[in-house]
């Protein structure tokens, strides 16, 4: 759920207790806002890393938010936030010739058909989900534990300043050089900083 420090565009007290059609409407609006927020955060994150700016922090403080905390509104929010980009990615992927072949193999059945279905339906999800996920949401990779804690966006507020400070001290712009430089760039990634 969203932390209390956030400024809300609407619904700072939450959406519980509202009529069902208001919950659906606010969930849809919040999902649409989160699509824009996810895309903007992705660009701001690249800008912060490449040019040493603070666009991501500014965006997190000032982007409009709707506090959806009821079950129906949250379900609608998730369907809009992840379902709309997934559907668009699936339509685009179905036009690519290699992915079309996966669709044909998937219809054939068998073990290769199951693997093709996973590729045909999973590839658009794997591409669209990180783009529209916001820093307030856990991504699929985080939920499944695929990322180490120090690379988790959930902790990006303590992660980003360390990268900036250590980038300057190490004289390097790549994470692989941080690891191999031996200058203690990852010292700040202890559990106590979270």
In a domain, 34, yes or no: no
Question: What mean pLDDT, rounded, does the chain reach?
Answer: 75
Q: Is residue 153 part of a domain?
A: yes
Q: Is residue 20 part of a domain?
A: no
In a domain, 166, yes or no: yes
Does position 167 have pLDDT exceeding 90, yes or no? no
Helix (H, G, I), strand (E, B) or coil at 134: coil
Predicted confidence at residue 26, as pLDDT, reads 93
Asked if pLDDT for residue 152 goes beyond 90, the answer is no
Torsion sign across C-alpha atoms 69, 73, 74, 75 = positive
Number of helices (H), then strands (E), belonging to the chain: the values are 9, 0
Token pair of 187 as six digits: 């010292």
The reply to whether 1 falls in a domain is no
According to DSSP, residue 82 is labeled I
Answer yes or no: is 14 within a domain.
no
Higher pLDDT: 71 or 187? It is: 71
- pLDDT tens digits for 106-141? 777 778 788 888 888 888 998 898 899 888 887 667
Contact 83, 65 (CB under 8 A): no
Q: For residue 179, give its domain range.
A: 138-194
Closest by Cα among 189, 172, 191, 160 to 53: 160
Residue 151 forms part of a structural domain: yes
pLDDT band at 94 (very low <50, low <70, confident <90, very high): confident
pLDDT band at 191 (very low <50, low <70, confident <90, very high): very low
pLDDT digits (tens, 9 = 90+) for 24-49: 999 999 999 999 999 999 999 999 99
Does residue 119 sit within a domain? no
Q: Number of folded domains in the chain?
A: 1
3-state helix, strand, coil in the chain (%, to 5): 70, 0, 30
Over residues 40-90, the pLDDT tens digits come to 999 999 999 999 999 999 998 999 999 898 999 999 999 999 999 999 999
How many other C-beta atoms can be found within 10 angstroms of the C-beta atom of residue 167? 18
Spatial distance between the Cα atoms of 34 and 169, rounded to a whole number of angstroms: 35
């Amino acid at each position: 759920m969203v932390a209390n420090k956030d400024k809300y565009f609407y619904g700072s007290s939450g959406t519980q207790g509202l009529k069902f059609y208001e919950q659906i409407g606010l969930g849809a609006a919040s999902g649409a806002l989160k699509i824009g927020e996810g895309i903007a955060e992705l660009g701001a994150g690249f800008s912060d890393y490449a040019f040493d700016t603070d666009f991501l922090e500014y965006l997190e403080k000032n982007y409009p938010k709707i506090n959806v905390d009821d079950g129906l509104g949250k379900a609608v929010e998730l369907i809009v936030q992840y379902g709309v980009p997934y559907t668009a990615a699936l339509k685009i992927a179905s036009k690519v010739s290699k992915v079309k072949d996966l669709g044909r193999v998937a219809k054939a059945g068998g073990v290769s058909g199951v693997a093709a279905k996973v590729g045909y339906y999973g590839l658009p999800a794997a591409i669209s989900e990180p783009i529209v996920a916001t820093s307030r949401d856990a991504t699929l990779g985080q939920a499944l534990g695929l990322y180490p804690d120090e690379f988790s966006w959930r902790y990006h507020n303590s992660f980003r300043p360390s990268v900036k400070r250590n980038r300057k001290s190490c004289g390097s712009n790549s994470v692989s050089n941080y690891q191999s430089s031996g200058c203690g760039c990852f010292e700040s990634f202890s559990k106590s900083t979270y």
